[in-house]
Structure 1
Amino acid sequence: MRKLIVFLLLVSFSKLMFSQNKPAYKLYNAKGNKISYKSMIKKMEKADIVLFGEYHDNPIVHWLQLEATVDLSKTRKLTLGAEMFEADNQIALNDYLIDSINQKGLDTMARLWRNYKTDYKPLVDFAKENKLAFIATNTPRRYARKVYINGFEVLDSITDSEKLWIAPLPIKYDSTLPGYVKFKEMLGNHATENSPKAQALKDATMAYFILKNKKDNKLFLHYNGSYHSDDYEGINWYLKLQNKHLKIITVSVVEQENVKKLDNENKLKADFIIVVPSTMTKTY
């Protein structure tokens, strides 16, 4: 009886201590089971491509991206790539990586996101220090804007040199994919039939440049907004169109009031789901 009382007291104390803690994040697999960071890295090590989804303003995800990159580099040769760099900025990015230009030069020559210095510079500098390729995978936004307004047909009128910065035409597109349906619904009355096509152009282009620059003996680690790979759609869908045998690991992030259990609606978003408190501070 005494042992039972001691056990119950220990359990109660543990629950009390956990409730008083403020975990910054919890990791889950697709089914909603808690997993360790080490387990996630072990799975990633065996992949051909990792699509590391993020909320662009979430500091926890940016930190985990850097930590995962460092740890994966210990066991795998890496190629890095990101949505946050557009394909026509590749030369400037390459020049920075080989020290032909400094940070001020990169600021001048490339269209860097406003949170570049806090959230993406550490990744680029890691590539620079370790002589890793870093691929600008996204389509220049001006072409996404054209498609958003006028559809894919407008891309037929751009020059051949400009077409080098987007996925080869014609762009395959499935308007029934849930992600594109949700995107259209999110825009409400502002949505048109062309609205999700701009997203599809980005997804197709990122997949194209990932595959174009992927080496057989290297893991391609790609950073992108989670909505570009959630539910195994977006970039993942276009990658699988080209090669259904690719081993792709996806990561997503969600915000919940309670991080101790993955909400049902967030299950199956990705192979690994990072849950952060909805009160988490933003980087901008």
Structure 2
Amino acid sequence: MRLLMLFAGLLLTGCQTHSMAPLPAPTANLFHYQLQNPQGSTLLLPDAVRQLAEADVIMVGELHGHQGIHRFQADLLAQLLSQPRPLALAMEQFSRDNQDTLDAYLAGEMGEEAFIKKSHAWPGYRSDYRPLISLARDASIPVIAANAPRHLVRCIGREGADYLRRLPANERKWVAERLTLADDAYKARFMENRHHGQAPSEQQFAAQTTWDDTMAESIQLYLQQHPGHSMMLTVGRFHIAEGLGTAQRLQQRNPRLNIVLIYPVTADEALPKAPLWTLHVAPLPASRLKGEPLPAFKRGEPDCLAGSVSVLFGPPARNS
């Protein structure tokens, strides 16, 4: 597989994309973005799209809730829709068990309020993902609910991958057939992240790779069934950082795919060491100032009996 890491950063002015002029700094405001190639040259979006013409899969990493990144995703999708190659949109933000609801909304069979409720859309759907769904709906392209259901992932995080053996067939299909649990570079990277000073457990890594393997399998199956198509995926940037996670799992499933990764970097972060494409955006406001307490958030605990899981979850982390 040809893996092109497009750690993308595009800084958009108020003009239309096709007439966008490079801004002097990628941190002008949260709506700006700036794309640079590995040589450090700033590219206009139409020029970048021409270079993406041969890509089979374009994975656009995001900081969840970042206006500039979500604007870039919509701008990129609109440009890709003008290309002759058939295109599908895959999204981390919807899980496989809600594919029928997503299809019904795209077909005009329900209103937005019902869609948001029945699909368990993320809290930022209206501001962050509505433009993508609207573009796909208007263009009559498929949208793939690529992820594993969050309630099943949490049960895996508590009980490990063996939990999947207890699921009935109608639920087991919502998670990738094969999970990548080996001690690879992605696992090492995940285990380095500590929460309240504690290293993650094996069960927590199994939950993490459930997302990655399921998204990778969802893409692989669609492209296998639709030869000649290309796909754009919206996904948290951790899932594609350093070419690992979802990108690595997809590469393992189909080494022949030409995958492009678009990775956002804020002005307060160091650039990747490797010569990658970068999407420069302004940093988000600090969630908490020094000394401020963590917000109280009560999570329901899942009942992980097969077929009886019911639990509410909070919004995803911004950098997941």
1-side partners of 2:160 and 2:222: how far apart? 27
Residue identity matched to 1:73: L
Cα distance per residue 1:203-231 (max 9 Å; x no partner): 00001111111222221111101111111
Residue in 1 that maps onto 2:205: 196
Indicate if the aligned counterparts of 2:267 and 2:283 stay in contact, CA closer than 8 A. Answer: yes
The structure number with the bigger radius of gyration is 1
2-side partners of 1:254 and 1:59: how far apart? 14
Residue in 1 that maps onto 2:90: 81
Residue in 2 that maps onto 1:241: 252
Indicate if the aligned counterparts of 2:220 and 2:254 stay in contact, CA closer than 8 A. Answer: no
Deviation, structure 1 residue 176: 3.1
Matched, 1:181 2:192: no
Residue in 2 that maps onto 1:231: 242
Residue in 2 that maps onto 1:129: 138
2-side partners of 1:43 and 1:142: how far apart? 39
2-side partners of 1:124 and 1:62: how far apart? 12
SS at match of 2:169: coil
Matched, 1:251 2:262: yes
Indicate if the aligned counterparts of 1:87 and 1:137 stay in contact, CA closer than 8 A. Answer: yes
C-alpha change, 1:231 and 1:18, in structure 2 (3 Å) is closer
SS at match of 1:254: strand
2-side partners of 1:220 and 1:140: how far apart? 21
Cα distance per residue 1:11-31 (max 9 Å; x no partner): xxxxxx958x937333223x4
Indicate if the aligned counterparts of 1:53 and 1:229 stay in contact, CA closer than 8 A. Answer: yes
Residue identity matched to 2:280: V
Residue in 2 that maps onto 1:41: 49
Residue in 1 that maps onto 2:60: 52
Residue in 2 that maps onto 1:151: 160
Cα distance per residue 1:26-47 (max 9 Å; x no partner): 3223x46233033321222210
Match of 1:112 among 114, 121, 130: 121
Residues 157-168 of structure 1: pairs in structure 2 closer than 5 A: 157-168=166-177
Residues 1-12 of structure 1: pairs in structure 2 closer than 5 A: none
2-side partners of 1:144 and 1:32: how far apart? 40
Indicate if the aligned counterparts of 2:81 and 2:139 stay in contact, CA closer than 8 A. Answer: no
Deviation, structure 1 residue 182: 3.0
Indicate if the aligned counterparts of 2:33 and 2:72 stay in contact, CA closer than 8 A. Answer: no
Indicate if the aligned counterparts of 2:28 and 2:282 stay in contact, CA closer than 8 A. Answer: no
Residue in 2 that maps onto 1:275: 280
1-side partners of 2:286 and 2:231: how far apart? 29
Larger helix fraction of residues: 1
Residue identity matched to 1:163: R
Residue in 1 that maps onto 2:13: none
Deviation, structure 1 residue 281: 9.2
2-side partners of 1:89 and 1:267: how far apart? 39
Match of 2:73 among 65, 68, 88: 65
C-alpha change, 1:91 and 1:18, in structure 2 (3 Å) is closer
Q: Which runs of 5+ in 2 are unaligned?
A: 1-22, 288-317
TM-score normalised by L of structure 1: 0.83
Q: Which runs of 5+ in 1 are unaligned?
A: 1-16
TM-score normalised by L of structure 2: 0.74
1-side partners of 2:78 and 2:286: how far apart? 24
Indicate if the aligned counterparts of 2:192 and 2:199 stay in contact, CA closer than 8 A. Answer: no
Cα distance per residue 1:137-165 (max 9 Å; x no partner): 00001111111112111111111111111
Indicate if the aligned counterparts of 1:147 and 1:197 stay in contact, CA closer than 8 A. Answer: yes
Deviation, structure 1 residue 198: 1.1
